[in-house]
Amino acid sequence: MRELDQFLNARNLLIKQRTNYDAAYAEFSWPKLDTFNWAIDYFDAIAQNNTAPALHIVEDSGHQSLLSYEELSKRSNQVANWLIEQGVRKSDRILLMIGNEVPLWETMLAAIKLGAVLIPATHLLSKDDLSDRLQRGKVRHIMTNATGMSKINDLPADSVKGLNLISVAGGVLPSEWTDYWLSKLASSSFTQPEPTRVTDPLLEYFTSGTTSKPKLVQHTQQSYPVGHLSTMYWLGLQQGDVHWTISSPGWAKHAFLFTTTNVSMGLIFWQSWSSTKSMHCAHHRPSGAC
Architecture of domain 3-289: 3-Layer(aba) Sandwich (3.40)
**Which of 33-42, 105-114, 184-193, 280-289 has the least mean pLDDT?**
280-289
Strand partners, 205: 217
Q: Who has greater pLDDT, 145 or 245?
A: 145
Residue of 83, 43, 38 lying closest to 67 (CA atoms): 43
Task: Using pLDDT thresholds of 50, 70 and 90, give the confidence band for residue 192.
Answer: very high
Question: Rounded to whole angstroms, how far apart are CA atoms 80 and 39?
Answer: 11
Rounded percentage of the chain residues whose pLDDT exceeds 90: 62
Task: Using pLDDT thresholds of 50, 70 and 90, give the confidence band for residue 275.
Answer: very low
What is the mean pLDDT of the segment spanning 234-241? 76
pLDDT digits (tens, 9 = 90+) for 53-86: 888 887 667 778 889 999 999 999 999 999 999 9
Q: Provide the pLDDT for residue 119.
A: 95
Kindly report the pTM of this predicted structure. 0.88
What is the mean pLDDT of the segment spanning 255-282? 52
Q: 158-167 burial string, b = 16+ CB within 10 Å, else e?
A: ebbeebbbbb
pLDDT digits (tens, 9 = 90+) for 88-133: 999 999 999 998 889 999 999 999 999 999 999 988 888 999 999 9
Report whether pLDDT(14) > 80: yes
Domain boundaries, the chain: 3-289
